[in-house]
Amino acid sequence: MKPNPRAGLAFILAMILLGGASPAAAARHDRGLDCGGTVTESVRLTADLRNCPENGLVIGADGITLDLNGHRVDGDASGGGVGIDLEGHRGVTIENGTVRDFGEGVLVLDGRGVRILRVVSLHEEHGGILVDGGRDVTIARSVVRRSGAGIIVTRSNRVRVTANRVSRSAFGGIPVFGSRRVLISRNTVTRCRTDMGIGLVSGSSGSVVRENRVSRSGAGIVAADGAAHNLIAGNSIHRNDSGVVLDVGTHDNRVLGNVIGRSAFEGIAVVGSDRNLIARNRVIGSGQVDPAGGIVVIPLPDDASQTSDANRVVGNAALRNLGDGILVGESRTGTVLRANRAYRNTELGIAAAAGTIDGGRNRAARNGDPRQCVGVACQP
* CATH architecture group of domain 220-380: 3 Solenoid (2.160)
Segments of the chain assigned to CATH 2.160.20.10: 220-380
The share of the chain scoring above pLDDT 70, in percent, equals 92
- Closest to 141 measured CA to CA, from 159, 116, 123: 116
Count of C-beta atoms within a 10 Å radius of residue 288: 16
- Closest to 197 measured CA to CA, from 180, 214, 177, 179: 214
CB 1 within 8 A of CB 301: yes
- Give the tens place of pLDDT for each residue, 86-142: 999 999 999 999 999 999 999 999 999 999 999 999 999 999 999 999 999 999 999
- Give the tens place of pLDDT for each residue, 158-169: 999 999 999 999
pTM over 0.75: yes
Residue type, 169: S
- Give the tens place of pLDDT for each residue, 299-331: 999 888 899 999 999 999 999 999 999 999 999
Q: Is residue 254 helix, strand or coil?
A: strand
111 contact partners, CB below 8 Å, separation of at least 6 = 86, 87, 88, 89, 90, 92, 131, 133, 134, 135, 137
- Give the tens place of pLDDT for each residue, 58-69: 999 999 999 999
Kindly state the average pLDDT of the residues 199-222.
98
pLDDT band, very low/low/confident/very high, at 193 (cuts 50, 70, 90): confident
